Amino acid sequence: MKEILFLILLFLSTAINTFAEWKLGGRVVPGPLPPDPSAPTPQLDIKKDVIYGIADGIPLKLDIAKPSICKDQKVPLAVFVHGGGWKGGDKEGAFSRSDAKMLFQLGFAVASINYRLSPQFHFPAHINDCKLAIRYLRKNAEQFKIDPDRIGIWGSSAGGHLVLLMGTADKNDGLEGEGLENISSRVSAVVDHFGPSDLTKATQAGHPTVMDFLGCDPYFCIEVAIKASPVTYVSKDDPPILIIHGDKDKVVAYNQSEVMAEKLRLAGNPCALIKVKNAGHGFTPDPPNSQIVPSKNYIDFLTISHLARYLEPALLGDLDLDGKIDFRDAVDLIIHLGQFGVGPNAIPAPDNWNPLADIYPDGKIDDKDWEEFWKIWRNRGETLFPFQ
């Protein structure tokens, strides 16, 4: 009898979740909440090959998609920058990524941009284009129904390098390029997946791909390599940065992320460094039959959680992204107390790091976060205990 009752309750729970109207901050989102990479991609309104500028006679294009259910809402925007060694790759396929799918479930818009490629074009063409894309999206925020004050970026490999550069180099650093000069290219959050950060290091300098990107050998044009390196521009006012990198990466050495993370930590950025064990470039298992830690699903969670932490106020204090603040979030916060996003000498964050636990944004989980959690809970008047 107990088994039958359990099955009935399970069915009712599933039915309720299936037909639930998911909400964040009063606005309807596709759900499910928490986001689930195995759930179907929500229905999307997609605009493809939007021309955001012209450079050297080449139309620069981006794609942008938004959940259909959020059609009339002003939503946060996450922009993906593809990899490919600065000489390959394409904006196509970004919307089918599991992390993009989860952002759609949260009611975010997602854009994917193309930029000029090497060896035909050299630095700073690539970063000029990326920054122009952000200015274009911000200028046309009303047309796309996105919030111009809630734009975050993420990218992998060469795209990781470019999002780091987009986040750290400001309007006075000479990398903005031409077009829409009166519009800001600043973003609110950055997630870097295994991108190079210091092109002067021996592991990067002299590499043919780097030379194609810079248009010269860094050994003989060190000033260009310095200008193209995100570590050059780190400052306290940079947007919060999350770095995720495999420890067995043979394309971009893990040390590249350690150098960047230590610079950010010393500058006072609320950053975090996630060291993915047994992972090569692209988080592929190395050796092939090994298990990466944290898992790919948790890497996706980290990525969207960091962006959500700074782009969606309704999720502040919602550590499990289920759309409410309750006992589970309090327990999760207790579990993370005492953790650092980056420790001295670039010690990485624990494998279970949760960007949403850094409620008071300083790169560590402590009493300040606990106090902020209770303030949020009291102000929202939500039920603390489950099933109540």
Angle 367-380/327-336 helices, nearest 10 degrees? 170
pLDDT at 2: 35
Q: Where are the alpha helices (DSSP H) in the chain?
A: 2-18, 98-105, 125-139, 141-144, 158-168, 208-214, 222-227, 255-267, 296-311, 327-336, 367-380
Is domain 26-317 annotated with CATH 3.40.50.1820?
yes
- The per-residue pLDDT for range 242-281, each reduced to its tens digit, is 999 999 999 999 999 999 999 999 999 999 999 999 999 9
pLDDT at 8 over 70: no
Read off the pLDDT of each residue in 301-319 and give the average, rounded to a whole number.
Answer: 97
pLDDT at 4 over 50: no
> Is residue 33 within 8 Å of residue 322, measured between CB atoms?
yes
Read off the pLDDT of each residue in 150-169 and give the average, rounded to a whole number.
Answer: 98
In angstroms, the CA 193 to CA 98 distance is: 14
At residue 373 the predicted structure's pLDDT band, cuts being 50, 70 and 90, is very high
Average pLDDT along the chain: 92
- pTM of the predicted model as reported, rounded to 2 decimal places: 0.93
pLDDT at 380: 75
pLDDT at 219: 87
Instruction: Tell me which of 387 and 169 has the higher pLDDT.
Output: 169
pLDDT at 54 over 60: yes
Read off the pLDDT of each residue in 363-372 and give the average, rounded to a whole number.
Answer: 97
pLDDT at 108 over 70: yes
pLDDT at 36 over 80: yes
Distance in angstroms between the alpha carbons of the first and the last residue of the chain: 25
pLDDT at 206: 61
Instruction: Tell me which of 48 and 387 has the higher pLDDT.
Output: 48
In angstroms, the CA 89 to CA 92 distance is: 8
pLDDT at 11: 38
pLDDT at 23 over 70: yes
Q: Which amino acid is at 63?
A: D
- The per-residue pLDDT for range 235-253, each reduced to its tens digit, is 999 999 999 999 999 999 9
pLDDT at 336 over 80: yes
List residues bridging with 53 in a β-sheet.
60
- The per-residue pLDDT for range 131-146, each reduced to its tens digit, is 999 999 999 999 999 9
Burial class (CB in 10 A: 0-12, 13-18, 19+), 121: buried
**Domain coordinates in residue numbering, the chain:** 26-317
